Structure 1
Amino acid sequence: MRPKVLLVEDSTSLAVLYKQYVKDEPYDLFHVETGQEAIAFIERNVPQLIILDLKLPDMSGEDILDWISENQIPTSTVIATAHGSVDIAVGLIQKGAKDFLEKPIKANRLKTSISLHLKQAKLEHLVEDIESKFDRSRFHGFLGSCLAMQGVYKIIDSVAPTTASVFINGESGTGKEVCAEAIHKESQRKNMPFIALNCGAIPKDLMESEVFGHIKGAFTGANTDRKGAASMANGGTLFLDELCEMDLEMQKKLLRFLQTGTFTPLGASKEVKVDVRILCATNRDPLVEVEEGRFREDLYYRVHVVPIEMPPLRERGSDIATLAKHFLKIYAKEDGKKFSGINSDAEALLKKYQWPGNVRQLQNIIRNIVVLNDESKLSISHLPAQILKNKASTTKPVPSPTSMVTPSAAQETLMTARESTPLNEAQASGQIPKQEMNIRPMWQIERETIQNAIDFCDGNVLNAAVLLELSPSTVYRKKQAWEAEDERSAV
């Protein structure tokens, strides 16, 4: 099937000219004159590429670009703009446009741009098809497809069928109990009970009774026999959340239970034997707790067989928007509200916020917004103060985590130059030759860095993109452009 290109241009004469330019090319060019016609066309049959004029009779090209972004239309957009609007077009690239063409568009420029972006779109779909074979966006109670979560899913797949103890570590609200339930549901015990106990929410004096149970008369108020969590989980899984909150004496009894599979209920004289798999979790650093004497070392090594680190929400990238939209649709349906999506500017703020309370905080904020408002789209005006404060701070450039840890090649070049050639008056006046600064064009450094990553990954572009923290399609596109340039230079 031939690719489809949609030209959104209110000038019929220009549209006829552009169609003449590409009449022999291996794709079909369709033309509409207004924004509404463009939206209707896209809804019927999504084109692989859209060439979008900025000024239309009924709306601006920016409005259409926002609509494409908000509805997550799988297409590429190139802006067609007059000379005086180039700065606006460049700004729209930050909102999702792939490129811009300055009008009047020359034949070779139009054909080259369309060809390049159609090839890029084909590569992106290829990458998505490859990734979809290995990546999951949903996994039991989890929602998210970032690299860190894919790692969590794979560990769960590996450990669930075994009897090994699992220790789940992560900040509050990252989904430690969801992880434990996923392990249980993937295990051979999935049809047996899953019992969760929050050790941090149980008073010290009641902990032993909650875990092991008691018999009538064991203590004041014990009017009947009561099964503990260990008995209720027999044949299934017992999840002990916030294990580091448990006092040392109870830790000793838990260790014996883990070693023997037996325990004695409070007030009883006879041991009880059960078959239980133990999963544990904490939001503290267990090794620090061991070093400071609050957590038994022997218990640590007994339960810390397979560790799983739950990533904080701030490190999950696009998962933030995915989760926000998920919660928005759920609560809107529950409460009969009109919310159906999130505006792109509000989505950008959600992604930039640090989320100290992680997924639980995001869930509560979305719940609050739905309860107090009833509009079709979640906008910036709906966001709480703590997220809006972040908007002001983002006006200053913030170095990426990678650049804070390891300087980029460009930074190393500049730092080396500064150390070897101080910026004194002689240099400022031009008396020192510029070549001593050893500054190279950024495109050379970028190409060298990307190629080094690809070589390091034995030619695997997907792995190289992960190391570089770039989209695989971006790496493919740059690599293809450089190779094409090399071929032209060789001719």
Structure 2
Amino acid sequence: MSDGEFGKPVILAVGDVLMVGDREKILRDAGLAVEHVADGAAALAFAQKPVPQVWLVGERLPDMEGVALLRALRERNLSHTALIALKNEGEPTANRVRGAYDFLIEPVSALKLVTALRNARERAMLHAAVEDLSPDMGPAGYFGFIGRSVAMRSVYRMMESVAASRATVFITGERGTGKIVCANAIHKAGPNAGAPFVCVDCTAVAQDKLDASIFGYAPELEIDTDFGPGGAIAKANGGTLFIREICALDLPLQEKILKFLQTGSHVPFGNSTDGQVPVNDVDVRVICDTDRDPMKEVTAGRFRQDLFYRLHVLPIHLPALRDRGGDAVEIAGRTLREAAAEAGKRFRTLTPEARAAIAAYDWPGNVRELHSVIHEAVAAHDGVSLSVDMLPSFLGGAIANETPESPQDAEKPGAAEDASASDMQTVADDPHEDEGPVLKVDIGITLADMERNFIEATIDACDGSLPRAAKMLGVSPSTLYRKRDSWTMGR
């Protein structure tokens, strides 16, 4: 493997962490590329390589403590890394695993170890994606997605990377996060974009018709499905078969899916496998998704472990809307203009209070819920700007204590001095754009002061709430707390 080859990070095992049972063989059989070094010094030398890496570090190494190695790696601010610490049961946890992406307490099962490493590998790939985002993709979205947050830019890069492949993709994420949009985008970005894209929803098709719907059925049978006698596989020939909620399949049908993925052939429903020549003249790319936690399904015995490993070659996890920074406001603005155009309404923008309410809400139903809220508001109201009182009360309540500055407040003694001291001024909203208030920065201000003033202005706009300000800025609240602490200590 060449250094820097995207999508194939090396898993580096440090010390004797693989010297338990057949761990090394298990990892390799699961498709994980593993390298091994004996001690911390060799690990730090390996860290000079520019490949995405996952580190598996034991509690104690021949030349240092495992926590010392984790600290040394963090001090180097290495990119494209995910660190996993293996700890012995009974050891203190709080300080021993600081700096690790994940930690596992021995004894660790093979399934848990493989899953942790796969998740860490995906994280390393996503971090690499942020720095390698294609310039022609644009900052605001990708094939129907809207949003420019770091989390989504990582997903866009992953989607672009896997689109060129014909390998199976497994999409996970909460309901409403856009898994159908993701599958469509991968298909449209791939080499067979003009070929069929066929979706089978395993929760919408009767269980006794799923086999015939996917694989087709014997000619002598008369089964009413949406995909004809050849099934969805035949209908998707040359293109993409999207299996929605694959965890809803029963175990026998999961086994049939696994065999199809392994061999490329299948036997239609109603045909005996004994002496029956399988159908193998189809060329189909398979994409699957699930709203469930697939690992919990495997542990509960409801989902085949071997199928999980086979599907998890190219995993994509879609973040919840609450984890996407300011994307909610951007999605709301775009949805508002589209819904208004469809309904013949005048809406162009969201008021600042409406934007603040949308940014502050957690959106448990994700993008789907946001779309519904905006469409309902457009149907019930009209105007140039959508105000917070036009939104459901549960949104207005999030900023019930926030009121816009009154003209009298602006004329209070000292108001001009306060504006000058902040080095920034708020400019009136453009009624034709939905980008929020514009901030004008005085020439000569340092970059550090500009950042501080911008953050403080955002916190003030959120009535002093750091969590809400963090949502609007697209960072974690801990980042704002750390910056404020550093400003205090620097006085």
Query: What one-letter code is carried by the residue in structure 1 that aligns with 2:149?
Result: C
**CA gap 1:379/1:220 in 2 versus in 1, 3 angstroms:** closer
Unaligned runs of 5+ in 1: 1-129, 396-442, 451-464, 486-491
- Among 358, 371, 394, the residue aligned to 1:363: 371
Aligned to 2:260: 257
Provide closer, same or farther for how the CA distance between residues 225 and 174 of structure 1 changes in structure 2, counting only shifts above 3 A: closer
Give 2:343's aligned residue.
335
Instruction: Report the 3-state secondary structure (helix = DSSP H, G, I; strand = E; otherwise coil) of the residue aligned with 1:331.
Output: helix
- Cα 1:289–1:331 change in 2 (3 A) is same
The residue number in structure 2 matching 1:289 is 297
Q: Structure 1 residues 222 and 148, CA, compared in 2 at 3 Å: closer, same or farther?
A: closer
Partner of 1:185 in structure 2? 188
Instruction: Provide the secondary structure at the position in 2 that maps to 1:262.
Output: coil
Quickly say closer, same or farther: Cα 1:132–1:214, change in 2 above 3 A. Answer: closer
Q: Distance in 1 between matches of 2:225 and 2:172?
A: 35
Q: Which residue of 2 aligns with 1:382?
A: 390
Q: Please name the residue that 1:351 is paired with.
A: 359
2-side partners of 1:238 and 1:223: how far apart? 14
SS at match of 1:201: coil
1:272 pairs with one of 274, 279, 300: 279
Are the counterparts in 1 of residues 237 and 284 from structure 2 also a CA contact under 8 Å?
A: yes
Residue by residue over 1:103-149, the C-alpha shift from the partner in whole angstroms, topping out at 9 and shown as x without a partner, is: xxxxxxxxxxxxxxxxxxxxxxxxxxx99788621211111100000
CA contact (8 A) 2:233 2:284 kept: yes
Question: In 1, Cα distance between the equivalents of 2:254 and 2:134?
Answer: 44
1:197 equivalent in alignment to 2:200 = yes
Q: Deviations over 1:393-414 (max 9, x none)?
A: 999xxxxxxxxxxxxxxxxxxx
Q: Does 1:137 align with 2:145?
A: no
Which residue of structure 2 lines up, in the alignment, with residue 58 of structure 1?
A: none
User: When the two structures are superposed, what TM-score results if normalisation uses the length of structure 2?
Assistant: 0.53
Equivalent position amino acid for 1:204 in 2: Q
Q: Distance in 2 between matches of 1:327 and 1:290?
A: 38
Structure-1 residue corresponding to 2:380: 372
Name the aligned partner's letter for residue 307 of structure 2: L
CA deviations 1:31-86 (Å, max 9, x no partner) are: xxxxxxxxxxxxxxxxxxxxxxxxxxxxxxxxxxxxxxxxxxxxxxxxxxxxxxxx
- Residues 225-240 of structure 1 mapped to structure 2, 5 A cutoff: 226-240=229-243
* 1: CA distance, partners of 2:288 / 2:226: 31
Greater gyration radius: 1
Residue in structure 2 matching 1:211, options 210, 214, 217: 214
> Cα 1:186–1:374, aligned 2, differ >3 Å: closer, same or farther?
same
1:404 alignment partner in structure 2: none
| Residues 215 and 222 in structure 1, CA contact (< 8 A), matched pair in contact too | no
Whether 1:304 and 2:319 are equivalent positions in the alignment is no
The 1-side partners of 2:168 and 2:317 are apart by 14
Q: CA offset at residue 221 of structure 1?
A: 6.0
- Please give the residue correspondences for 1:369-448 in structure 2 after superposition, counting only pairs within 5 Å: 369-392=377-400
- Does structure 1 conserve the Cα–Cα contact (< 8 Å) formed by 2:173 and 2:320? yes
Judge conservation of contact 1:144–1:323 (CA < 8 Å) in 2.
yes
CA displacement at 1:203 relative to structure 2: 1.7
In the alignment, the residues of structure 2 paired with residue 385 and residue 257 of structure 1 have an alpha-carbon distance, to the nearest angstrom, of: 50
Aligned residue number for residue 153 of structure 1: 156
Whether contact under 8 Å (2:209, 2:225) holds in the other structure is no
Q: 1:160 to 1:358 in 2, by over 3 A?
A: same
Alpha-carbon offset, residue 308 of structure 1: 0.8
Query: Any gaps of 5 or more consecutive residues in structure 2?
Result: 1-132, 404-447, 456-473
Instruction: Pick the structure with more helix per residue.
Output: 1
Q: 1:211 to 1:134 in 2, by over 3 A?
A: closer
Cα deviation, 1:169-194, whole Å, max 9, x if unaligned, reads 10001011111111111211212111
Distance 1:138 1:265 in 2: 40
Q: CA deviation at 1:213?
A: 1.5
Whole-angstrom CA distance in 1 between matches of 2:395 and 2:161: 38
Structure 1: which amino acid aligns with 2:147? G
Q: Deviations over 1:467-488 (max 9, x none)?
A: 89879xxx9xx99xx9xx9xxx
Structure 2 distance, partners of 1:344, 1:253, is: 53
Between stretches 365-374 and 211-220, larger displacement belongs to 211-220
Q: Which residue in 2 is equivalent to 1:416?
A: none
CA shift in 2, pair 1:221/1:197, >3 Å: closer
Shift of 1:262: 1.1
Check 1:385–1:154 CA distance in 2 against 1; reply closer, same or farther (3 A cut): same
Q: Deviations over 1:262-321 (max 9, x none)?
A: 112223454212111111111111111000000000110111101111011111121111
- Distance apart, 1:164 and its partner CA: 2.1
Aligned partner of residue 203 in structure 2, secondary structure: helix
- The 5 Å alignment of 1:56-135 reads none
Check conservation: 1:217, 1:223, Cα contact below 8 A. no
SS at structure 1 position matched to 2:339: helix
For the structure 1 residues 302 and 339, does the alpha-carbon distance in structure 2 shift closer, same or farther, using more than 3 Å as the test? same
Corresponding position: 1:320 with 2:328: yes
CA drift at 1:247: 1.0
Q: Distance in 2 between matches of 1:193 and 1:224?
A: 12
Structure 1 residues 136 and 177 mapped into 2: Cα distance closer, same or farther (>3 Å)? same
Q: How far does the alpha carbon of each residue in 1:408-456 deviate from its partner, in whole angstroms, 9 at most, with x for none?
A: xxxxxxxxxxxxxxxxxxxxxxxxxxxxxxxxxxx9xx99xx9xxxxxx
What's 1:167 paired with?
A: 170
**Shift of residue 222, structure 1, vs aligned partner:** 8.4
Deviation string, structure 1 residues 363-422 (Cα, Å, up to 9, x no partner):
111111111111111111111133234335999xxxxxxxxxxxxxxxxxxxxxxxxxxx
Q: 1:387 aligns to what SS in structure 2?
A: helix
Give the whole-Å Cα distance in 2 for the aligned partners of 1:373 and 1:190: 39
Q: TM-score, normalised by structure 1?
A: 0.53
Deviates more, 1:222-231 or 1:167-176: 222-231
CA distance in 1, matches of 2:193, 2:158: 17
> Are the equivalent residues in 1 in contact too, given 2:356–2:399 (CA < 8 A)?
no
Aligned residues: 283
Sequence identity (%): 41
User: Do the aligned partners of residues 202 and 381 (structure 1) sit closer, same or farther apart at CA in structure 2, a change above 3 Å counting?
Assistant: same
